């Protein structure tokens, strides 16, 4: 949630910022909701003060022995209770309307975010490594997976439905190895604390991180059909970031670095017809997620650090990749600025996203009331997240970039210990 005070004080600045995303800000609606909330709260407070004054006067009458007059005043004051109850209900409804308006607004963009409406307008930051060249016809991960008998979409569809897969043998082993390698690297080398977290979360947790209520994201999530208000996590960011909910951090506690390896569940309702072949866009996939909670003045540096940590995985896996900064129209609603890491996939002859690293500034912290206190300083913390990285897409990248003409798949040196020292997945 953006700051209501900022919206009151500098409405034109906020409107211009949101316009960069293609969002129209209804300032008249905001002013009306804000005024209604203020008036309702003032009316409730005035009635409370009137009741307090009446109670004090009644007490004085009893002390003075004027019991009859005191009882008359007491009967009249009792009616104030009903008026206060009605005023409180009115104030609560006004607060709900105001909060609903504020929750629907995206975060303010950082000044450096490039203009644009789609991924075509994203800014290239740098490219690392050279895509491999092959002297034979390149296979994509589907062909390689089927060649080795380690990727089975028919079994996934039979067990669940389309856009689910079964990995077996070397395929399952590679998937497990990738998740372990990433998590061990982030914990041992980058200083994150490992967590195992709920995969089902309530609506409040999703609202805290900005998945709800906005822009059809609820259509992207799987949720329980029973009345228990639980949703399957679309990313471990939800569970990890909510560890900060309601907390007041001291300077010595920041930055907080937490990580988790988890499955992620998404309907992919908004991507009908996209990436229907293979594992690029599945309803269930794994990801190692990194979250940092930082002091406001340190969050820009923290985002670059998060990016560096995600890139370290790519370098360890010896994968060619590039970093792009997302444009205004492609930046997620909760983010102020986002960098994507895109890995080279020979089977598609193009770079594809494998990690997003976002600085959400105080947008999530305001929703979950996560604060930072340092001496006389009292502010909301900044919360950042990044994929460190998507396990399934790393799986695709490793086998496609490591493929050989005979069908064998060369393994990066860092993965060989997970395969008993083998340098490759043998040809079938």
Is residue 117 marked as binding?
A: no
Is residue 354 marked as binding?
A: yes
Compute the distance between CA of residue 34 and CA of residue 291 in angstroms, rounded to an integer: 33
Is residue 268 marked as binding?
A: yes
Is residue 337 marked as binding?
A: no
Is residue 426 marked as binding?
A: no
Asked if residues 337 and 303 have their Cβ atoms less than 8 Å apart, the reply is yes
Is residue 289 marked as binding?
A: yes
Q: Which two tokens stand for residue 144?
A: 């390689």
Catalytic residue from among 20, 73, 352, 393: 393
Asked if residues 103 and 218 have their Cβ atoms less than 8 Å apart, the reply is no
Catalytic residue from among 266, 337, 352, 367: 266
Enumerate helices (H) and strands (E) in the chain, giving the number of each.
Answer: 12, 17
Helices 170-188 + 299-316 axis angle, to 10 = 140
Is residue 137 marked as binding?
A: no
Asked if residues 201 and 230 have their Cβ atoms less than 8 Å apart, the reply is yes
Catalytic residue from among 353, 371, 408, 416: 353
Those residues with Cβ within 8 angstroms of residue 61's Cβ, 6 or more apart along the chain or in another chain:
67, 69, 70, 73
Is residue 387 marked as binding?
A: yes
Distances (CA, A) of 100 to 8, 25, 87: 16, 14, 20
DSSP 353: E
Is residue 242 marked as binding?
A: no
356 is catalytic: yes
Is residue 356 marked as binding?
A: yes
DSSP assignment string, 196-255: ---SEEEHHHHHHTT-TTSTTGGGGS-B-SSTT-EEE-SSTHHHHHGGGTT-EEEGGG-S
Catalytic residue from among 356, 366, 367, 400: 356
Compute the distance between CA of residue 339 and CA of residue 125 in angstroms, rounded to an integer: 9
Of 174, 197, 392, residue with least CA distance to 283? 392
68 is catalytic: no
Q: Is 149 left (phi over 0), alpha (psi -120 to 50) or beta?
A: left
> At which residue do the structure tokens 């804000």 appear?
34
> At which residue do the structure tokens 């409406």 appear?
117
353 is catalytic: yes
Catalytic residue from among 123, 281, 322, 416: 281
Is residue 396 marked as binding?
A: no
Q: Which residues pair with 223 in a beta bridge?
A: 231
Residues forming the active site: 266, 281, 353, 356, 393
Residue ranges at the known binding site for ATP: 266-268, 353-356
Residue ranges at the known binding site for L-serine: 235-237, 266, 289, 385, 387
Residue ranges at the known binding site: 235-237, 266-268, 289, 353-356, 385, 387
């Amino acid at each position: 949630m953006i700051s209501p005070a900022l919206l009151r004080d500098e409405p034109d600045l906020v409107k211009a910022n949101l316009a960069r995303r293609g969002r129209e800000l209804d300032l008249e609606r905001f002013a009306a909701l804000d005024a209604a909330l203020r008036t309702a709260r003032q009316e409730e407070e005035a009635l409370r003060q009137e009741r307090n004054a009446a109670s004090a006067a009644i007490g004085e009458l009893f002390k003075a022995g004027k019991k009859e007059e005191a009882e008359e005043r007491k009967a009249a004051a009792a009616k104030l209770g009903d008026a206060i109850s009605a005023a409180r209900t009115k104030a609560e409804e006004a607060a709900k309307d105001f909060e609903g308006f504020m929750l629907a607004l995206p975060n303010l963009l950082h000044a450096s975010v490039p203009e644009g409406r789609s991924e075509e307008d994203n800014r290239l930051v740098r490219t690392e490594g050279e895509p491999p060249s092959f002297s034979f016809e390149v296979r994509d991960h589907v062909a390689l997976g089927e060649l080795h008998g380690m990727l089975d979409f028919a079994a996934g569809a039979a067990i669940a439905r389309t856009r689910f897969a079964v990995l077996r043998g070397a395929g399952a082993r590679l998937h497990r190895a990738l998740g372990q390698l990433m998590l061990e690297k982030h914990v041992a080398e980058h200083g994150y604390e490992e967590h195992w977290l709920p995969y089902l979360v309530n609506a409040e947790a999703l609202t805290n991180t900005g998945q709800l209520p906005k822009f059809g994201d609820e259509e992207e999530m799987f949720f329980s059909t029973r009345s228990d208000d639980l949703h399957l996590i679309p990313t471990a960011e939800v569970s990890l970031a909510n560890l900060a909910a309601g907390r007041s951090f001291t300077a010595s506690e920041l930055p907080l670095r937490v990580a988790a390896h988890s499955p992620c569940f998404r309907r992919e309702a908004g991507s009908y017809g996209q990436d229907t072949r293979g594992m690029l866009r599945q309803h269930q996939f794994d990801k190692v997620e990194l979250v940092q909670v930082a002091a406001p003045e340190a969050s820009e540096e923290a985002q670059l650090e998060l990016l560096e940590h995600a890139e370290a995985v790519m370098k360890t896996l010896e994968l060619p990749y590039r970093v792009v900064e997302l444009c205004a129209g492609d930046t997620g609603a909760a983010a102020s600025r986002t960098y994507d890491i895109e890995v080279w996939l020979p089977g598609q002859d193009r770079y594809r996203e494998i990690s997003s690293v976002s600085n959400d500034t105080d947008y999530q912290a305001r929703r979950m009331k996560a604060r930072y206190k340092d001496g006389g300083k009292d502010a909301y913390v900044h919360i950042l997240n990044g994929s460190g990285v998507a396990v399934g897409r790393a799986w695709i990248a490793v086998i496609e970039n490591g493929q050989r003409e005979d069908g064998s798949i060369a393994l990066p040196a860092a993965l060989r210990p997970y395969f008993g020292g083998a340098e490759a997945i043998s040809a079938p």
